[in-house]
Amino acid sequence: MIPKELVKGSLKSIVLKLLAENNRMYGYEITQKVDELSSGKIKLSYGALYPVLHKLEKEGAVVTEAEVVKNRNRIYYKLTESGTASAKERIKELEEFMQTVKILLNPQLGFEPCMS
């Protein structure tokens, strides 16, 4: 399982990416999807997910719609136009970040370390 601290910084990008690929999603669905795609390596807790979703709503990146499913209200989250734009940007950022981290972790591409 991947430690929470590592997930924390990229959580917003992951959520935006998932919402970009699916028309609309509810909170539980997002956690399940992340669990499934990462084959259980990333587990999103309630505590991590909902603050981010509400922040995105406040920023205007997503809108919510309530619907009665299985006798209870369910809140669906959906990207707005500006949300779709920022999703693309965040995903690009995240990819760039991963590339950089890769380079950092394998610095000897093309070079041999100087050993005396």
Partner 1 sequence: MYELNNKQIALVTADVENAGINFSHLSTDLIDHVCCDIELQMNHGISFNDAYSIVKQEFGIKGLRQIQQDTLMLIDKNYRIMKKSMKTIGMLAMALMAFGALFKIGHWPGASIMLTVGFFFTTIVFFPAFLYIVYKEGNNKKNAPLFILGLLGGVLFMIGVLFKIQHFPGASILIFSGLGTIDFLLLPLIIILKTKTSTINKTVFTLGLLSLMVFLTGLSFKIQHWPGASMLLTVGSITLVLLFVPIFYSLEVAKSKKLRVDFIFGIIALSYFIVLGFLLSLNVSQNVLIDFKYQESSFKKTAAFLSDKNIELGTNLTADHVIQLSNQADLIYDYIESIKIMIVQEQYNCTKEEAVQIYNSGKMIRTKENFVQFLLPENNPHSPLPKLKAELEVFNRLYQNIFTDSINQTTMPNILFSTDNRVVGYENHIVSWESYHFKDALQSPALNTLSLWQYNVRLAENKALSTLVLNPKNN
Binding site for partner 1 (CB under 8 A): 26-28, 31, 45-47, 50-55, 58, 64, 66, 69-75
Please enumerate in sequence order all residues whose Cβ is within 8 A of that of 35, keeping only pairs 6 or more positions apart, or say none.
42, 43, 44
Nearest distance from residue 56's CB to partner 1, in Å? 10
Residue closer to partner 1, measured from CB, 64 or 80: 64
Residue closer to partner 1, measured from CB, 27 or 94: 27
Nearest distance from residue 45's CB to partner 1, in Å? 8
DSSP string for 16-65: HHHHHHSSEEEHHHHHHHHHHHTTTS----HHHHHHHHHHHHHHTSEEEE
Residues, the chain: 116
Nearest distance from residue 58's CB to partner 1, in Å? 5
